[in-house]
Amino acid sequence: MSTRIRLSPEARREQLLDLGVQMLATRSVEELSIELLAEEAGISRGLMYHYFRSKHEFHTAVVRRAADEVIRVTAPRDEGGPLERLAGSLEAYVDYVAANYAGYTSLVRGAASGDDAMRQIYDETRAALTDRIFDTAGPTGLAEFGVTDTPAVRLLVRGWSAMTEDVVMAWVRDPRGVPKQELLMLLAAALPAVLSAT
């Protein structure tokens, strides 16, 4: 006879968030209802409100968890030069967006929706993804790109990041015959080209 393990409220909430992120991979955040999650989790709708006070709180928590996952899976590896580390992060990013397109699109759309919480999550995610280029490269690595860490350079890296996001989302929707490795090469080469403007 199997025995059910009783989880603490915190552990159950974490479990529900993990399930929400899994479901977000194939549907938009708007399609992710408390009723649907309760059904998938095998608990009552009323019990869901014990863990999340509102649909908005639930959506925000799931999107925050998904954003944290993007940051985690795209973390640069320790080995290799700056361009190699950048290429590895880019590949992980492309793979993540391809596997979680509906949910990632929700993060991007949520930022443009006027929802302050979604906008903050998106901005923090974008900042984490771009700032770590400077953190992992350091002055020596930046010198390989022919630049130093200045506000203008950081602004251009943010612009490159926005372009990369748009290109990757368009490529996932319609690759147009561009193989993934070619896409990665183009995106990685675009950063030094953009920075050369400084």
Q: Look up the pTM and report it.
A: 0.86
Where in the sequence is the domain holding 80, given as residue range(s)?
9-195
Q: Is 158 a member of any domain?
A: yes
User: What's the CA gap between 27 and 174, in Å, rounded?
Assistant: 18
Torsion-angle region of 7 (φ positive above 0: left; ψ -120 to 50: alpha; else: beta): beta
Q: Give the CATH number, domain containing residue 159.
A: 1.10.357.10
Q: Give the residue among 90, 36, 28, 91 at the shortest CA–CA distance from 63.
A: 28
Residue 30 inside a domain? The answer is: yes
pLDDT of amino acid 25: 85
The count of structural domains within the chain is 1
Whether 12 and 3 have beta carbons less than 8 Å apart is answered as no
Tell me if 155 sits within 8 A of 97, measured CB to CB.
Answer: no
Residue 150: its pLDDT value, please?
Answer: 94
The verdict on residue 32 lying in a domain is yes
Residue 2 lies in a domain: no
Residue 3 placed within a domain: no
Give the model confidence (pLDDT) of 55-107 as tens digits. Answer: 999 999 999 999 999 999 999 988 888 878 888 999 999 999 999 998 899 88
Domain assignment of residue 145, yes or no: yes
